[in-house]
Amino acid sequence: MLTAEQKIQDRRVLLDVAERLIYARGVHEVSMDEIRDVSGRSLKRIYANFPTKEALVVAMLRRRDQRWRSSLAQHVESVDGTARRVDAIFEWLRGWFSEPGFRGCAWINIHGELGSSSAAILEEVRSHKAAFRKQVTTWAAAGGPAVAEGIFLLAEGAIVAAAINSDPGAADTAREAAERLLAGSLPGAS
């Protein structure tokens, strides 16, 4: 019988392996047998933690969401003022886009691969996007609802453009557009 600590360790290892493989190649390209081989955990132990591949993918996306949005929030909230925080969003995105192995947004990629074939995964994708939207629009709220929503869409567009074109500079282009949006809405922002 496994100890509670071993179960926690198994779960962490399985999520690490699943995230690394699925982010690099996609859900359909990664089998549970490969996750078994790479993780060194038996299928019995994998399925004790995650009864289905879908449950593993949902857990992986949840954990990635917490880490991803927390890192973004820590960076953005280290500065004060709407204009500086909006700049910090795109600065953080540029850093992410420049990381080795960057393949774009895991949630967009998985949604693009699976569509609505999995209600649980679709819900995780929607949950992440709603939470990211709330973060960005909160940081940009002083510009008004339309400007805040525009900045969110610029961030989403930059993520897609950076992935498709392998161009971290998409963050800079989006930041410049966000600055123009803010300049027209905030006193003294220009």
Place 131 in a pLDDT band, splitting at 50, 70 and 90: very high
Please tell me the predicted confidence (pLDDT) of residue 190.
46
* pLDDT at residue 188 tops 80: no
* pLDDT at residue 87 tops 60: yes
Please tell me the predicted confidence (pLDDT) of residue 187.
63
Third-level CATH fold of 1-51:
Arc Repressor Mutant, subunit A (1.10.10)
* CA-angle at 168, arms to 163 and 169, nearest 5°: 120
Contacts 24+ apart (CB under 8 A), 132-135: 132/69, 132/156, 135/69, 135/72, 135/73, 135/76
Q: Give the contacts of 94 (CB within 8 A, at least 6 positions apart).
A: 168, 169, 171, 172, 175
- 143-163 residue pLDDT tens: 999 999 999 999 999 999 999
Please tell me the predicted confidence (pLDDT) of residue 43.
96
Annotated domain spans of the chain: 1-51, 62-183
Per-chain mean pLDDT for the chain: 95
Decide if 55 contacts 118 (C-beta within 8 A). no
DSSP H helical ranges for 98-183: 106-114, 119-139, 145-165, 170-183
Look-up of token digits 């525009």: 150
Place 176 in a pLDDT band, splitting at 50, 70 and 90: very high
Evaluated on CA atoms 140, 153, 116, 92, the torsion sign reads negative
What would the mean pLDDT of 54-83 be, rounded to a whole number?
97
* Per-position b or e across 100-111, b if 16+ CB within 10 A of its CB: eeeebbbbbbbb
What would the mean pLDDT of 17-38 be, rounded to a whole number?
98
Q: Which CATH number applies to 62-183?
A: 1.10.357.10
